[in-house]
Amino acid sequence: MPDTNQDCLFCRIIRGEIPAKKVYEDEQVFAFEDIDPKAPTHVLVVPKKHFAGLKEARAEDAEWIGRCHLAAAHIARQRNIENGYRTVLNVGPGAGQSVFHLHVHLLGGRALGWPPG
């Protein structure tokens, strides 16, 4: 198990201490349904290594972030939402980041407006 953080909500979900509806898992990535979905598909894809967010990421974290995005693409393909979906990283409280373990939101299954709010 890569580095996890004792008290972090998403690390606790990864370790199975808090229940979540798992969608996908591999060596580096864990994906689960968002508890408060904003679209028919709203999946959170997180690296199994704890880091707070994109601001805190280092060059050596590139693979973790890339793997999260590739997993999101895989899930979107499986769910047949490839006509249009969005991957979102909220970075910092001003952008709505509320959980400080990097996560990619995968949103799809409905029309998605642009620009996002």
Q: Is 103 a catalytic residue?
A: yes
Number of Cβ within 10 Å of residue 95's Cβ equals: 11
Beta-carbon contacts of residue 111 (< 8 Å; ≥ 6 apart): 84
Q: Does 96 bind ligand 5GP (CB under 6 A)?
A: yes
Q: Does 41 bind ligand 5GP (CB under 6 A)?
A: no
Amino acid at 87: T
Tell me which residues touch Zn ion (CB under 5 A).
Answer: 5, 8, 10-11, 50, 101
Q: Which of 4, 5, 28, 90 forms a contact with ligand 5GP (CB under 6 A)? A: 90
* DSSP 8-state assignment for residue 83: T
Binding site for ligand 5GP (CB under 6 A): 9, 20, 32-36, 44, 90, 96-99
